[in-house]
Amino acid sequence: MEMFEKAARLKLRFNTVRGLVSVEALYDMPLTSRNGFDLDSVARIINSNIKGMGEESFVSTTANTPAKIEEELKLEIVKHIIAVDLKAAEDAKARKTRVEKRQKLMELLAKKQDAALEGLSADEIMTELNALDDPA
């Protein structure tokens, strides 16, 4: 069963500094923040819970309790959402860089075209103007 389907079936909720939130609400949270309401803090809380569920018995071989399995699922979900957000931020940065480079190239092209026009003789300029005025 896919992890998000498991989360929906288990009605998972995630502890935050503002209380419990759903999986859907995690997508609206920032990666980090100053107030602690962020995905990094949620992941740290879950990771701390998992570490706190360490080995309870040296005799029992069942280290994976249902609660620990649920916490591990929560951590995988949060890590997935963090990865998606990091990829989106990286893609946005690359897109911005491409747009800025395209703008610079367009400005350079306009300058080159202007320079080429400035290099025309008076007769060539008149020929160009006449060609623009002729509707044919």
User: Is residue 72 over pLDDT 90?
Assistant: yes
**124 part of a folded domain:** no
**pLDDT score of 71 more than 70:** yes
The predicted structure's pLDDT at residue 63: 64
- For 14-24, write each residue's pLDDT tens digit: 999 999 999 99
Residue 132 lies in a domain: no
Establish if 114 belongs to a structural domain: no
Q: Does 90 reside within a domain?
A: yes
Q: Which domain holds residue 52?
A: 3-96
C-alpha–C-alpha distance, residues 81 and 66, integer Å: 23
Structural domain includes residue 117: no
- Please write the tens of the pLDDT for every residue from 45-54: 999 999 888 7
49 found inside a domain: yes
pTM (2 d.p.) = 0.74
Measured between alpha carbons, how far is residue 23 from residues 12, 15, 43 in Å? 7, 11, 13
Domains identified in the chain, total number: 1
- Asked if residue 108 belongs to a domain, the reply is no
